[in-house]
Chains A and B, each alone.
Chain A
Amino acid sequence: MHPHNNSRNHNHLNHDRAHDRPNDHTHDSRSPPIEYLDHPADLKFRVYGETIEEAFEYAALAMFGAMIDTATVHQTETLKIDLVADDCEDLLYDFLSELLYLFEAEEIVFGWFDVKRIEERCGKYHLIACASGEEIDTDRHRFGIGVKAVTFHEMVIERTDRGYLIQAILDT
């Protein structure tokens, strides 16, 4: 299992849409939606989405993709996530932390993420999402590294001329 081999072809999102945009100066059109970067101790990733919702989905996929080949995860259970935070970075921290919590407390491994809506209302950021996966079965699920927690360290959420870029570091 290598994080790079994770579920590009198994995610419900249509990555190819992103390939049609011509005037992209921020990253070239062949760049994958999920990139794992070198970091001395932990897990650093960068993801690109056409929308902020899609970028959040890829961030979640990057986190689980580092732990397991998400192609081996079936979609038998779906949990709903509903969060409110003061800013977008807090929302990302809370979203990934919530998924990590559900993974460990409910013992469900996720491989599919559908962020339905992220919006700003009255100075607060709201997120509604669904995460799908199945109960952990260590006979079948081959985990690599574990993610302990999400950090704010070098966290970037940025609007680019083609969509959104997210960078984050997870403590492993």
Chain B
Amino acid sequence: MPTKNKKREMPKLTRVTDYIWDIPTDYREKMRVPGRLFLSPRLLEGLEIDTLSQTANVATLPGIQKYAMAMPDAHPGYGFPIGGVAAFDSEEGVISPGGVGFDINCGVRVIRTNLTEADIRPKIGKLVDALFRAVPTGVGAKSKLKVSDSELRRVFEDGAKWAVEEGYGVPEDLIHCEENGRIELPGDLKVSEKVMKRGRPQLGTLGSGNHFLEVQCVREIYDNKIADAFGLHKGDITVMIHCGSRGAGHQICTDHLRALERASKKYGIELVDRQLACAPVQSKEGQEYFAAMCAGANYAWANRQVITHWVRETFHRFFGADIEMDLVYDVAHNVAKLEKHTIDGRQRMVYVHRKGATRAFPAGHPDVPKAYRSVGQPVLIPGSMGTPSYILCGMEKAMELTFGSACHGAGRVGSRKKALRDFRGEDIEKELLAKGITVKATNPSILAEEAPAVYKPSDAVVDVVHRVGIACRVVQVVPIGVAKG
């Protein structure tokens, strides 16, 4: 029989506050720093032991700073938990694909419109159908773009900037993207032929799984001043796009996971879990991964930008060319970034790994776009299919506590297998329609697998982030129409 998971002890957590719990370094051997969980007492009860032990495993990696952290939506991943945040010293630390995930720069963007629910409701069925046709969705969907090798290289180098220069958007879009939609590659582009070949047919596609394109309505405003700064008002229609770097990013991770596993051995880094494969960040292998990861992140920004263009075209066809469709913001929630943070009173450069975690920079931070600098960075938290999403705003506490990070969404709690057993796609579709949500998917089984009941409710997760003060609640948006892979 396969080796059974050894019975692991639930660590005795140290309570810091009602919402912050530490895993002491004596929980397991080789922990260099404590683990830190941001959880409400209720979320703590439902926390999987694997999330705890994976957080503790991350704490064993060389050069880790302060704490190995888990956001309130954390759940077991590979190597690092999903919802994990870890910062490593830029000289002595490591970099790990396991701390980023396979879907490099999986992320979210929100577009605001000056339409109201009353404008949308009568046309929602046709609109969702049209969006579904405009944006290739699901496994095997072919891109409408035909990019040459040199264009594809520019996608990896220039990200959303490539897309805007090709006519898929306006320059203002770039200002309202994390990193302006492009991380400057540290050197020449170096990705494998496989990455190129897997990336080419999928540029401008949504993908499958939890990815979606949603027409939403601003239902609640929690902070008027910040909502105003974000250009959001009660009753406004917004569009949310959740997707990533598609096969290109998956291939980059696949390639480098193997390379970095060899590197771990080469540099004598003892791994407590194979999926923690890493390399000293300044080693050749470490820098090659970082450069390829940046290229993957750029691809994802280009992807979301191209999709945005097709969403705008569709809306313009339905509601006229003069409607407003401005990008509020675009965040990455699977990425490693070189950032400056204050640690023990000193400014240090660190590689912050956010795997299922969103950057949440506060007011005044130079990386927050000018329009939002007086309030803070928009933090976009997608709900699961048919449930509310939230827009938050980064707060100063995030810099103190979480290397400028917050949660990323609703963690999955039920398996796909169980979901297929418990739900029928057709029923889910009807239930959602009764709640005023029109959904369209490539296959009804997707609707069953993504049933709202298999996800943690995102309001509980957002509540912790808000209470701890790393990001504050600004608005709640509810879905009206959903296109799923």
Q: Is the CB of A149 within 8 A of B250?
A: yes
Q: Is the CB of B209 within 8 A of A40?
A: no
CA distance A9 to B103 in the complex (A): 34
Q: Does A145 count as interface, using CB distance less than 8 angstroms?
A: yes
Measured CB to CB, the nearest residue on chain B to A86 is: B262
Q: Is the CB of A2 within 8 A of B198?
A: no
State how many angstroms separate the Cβ of A26 from the closest Cβ of chain B: 6
Residues of chain A with a CB closer than 8 A to B102's CB: 148-149, 171
Which of A101, A105, A154, A172 meets B209, CB within 8 Å? A172
Q: Does A79 count as interface, using CB distance less than 8 angstroms?
A: no
Interface size class of B (residues with CB under 8 A): 35 or more
Residues of chain B with a CB closer than 8 A to A153's CB: 78-79, 273-275
Q: Does A107 count as interface, using CB distance less than 8 angstroms?
A: yes
State how many angstroms separate the Cβ of B46 from the closest Cβ of chain A: 11
Q: Does B443 count as interface, using CB distance less than 8 angstroms?
A: yes
Q: Is the CB of A152 within 8 A of B76?
A: no
Residues of chain B with a CB closer than 8 A to A171's CB: 78, 102, 250
Q: Is the CB of A151 within 8 A of B139?
A: no
Residues of chain B with a CB closer than 8 A to A100's CB: 250
State how many angstroms separate the Cβ of A39 from the closest Cβ of chain B: 5
Q: Is the CB of A143 within 8 A of B75?
A: no
CA distance A38 to B414 in the complex (A): 8
Q: Does B404 count as interface, using CB distance less than 8 angstroms?
A: no
CA distance A169 to B208 in the complex (A): 18
State how many angstroms separate the Cβ of A7 from the closest Cβ of chain B: 17
Which of A46, A101, A145, A155 meets B446, CB within 8 Å? A145
Residues of chain B with a CB closer than 8 A to A149's CB: 102, 250, 253-254
Residues of chain A with a CB closer than 8 A to B347's CB: none
Q: A100-B250, A101-B194, A101-B197 are in contact. List 4 more A-B contacts (CB 8 A).
A: A94-B258, A105-B198, A141-B140, A171-B250
Interface residues of B (CB under 8 A from A): 1-3, 5, 48, 75-79, 82, 102-103, 138-142, 194, 197-198, 200-202, 207-209, 247, 250-251, 253-254, 257-258, 273-275, 412-418, 420, 442-443, 445-446, 449, 485
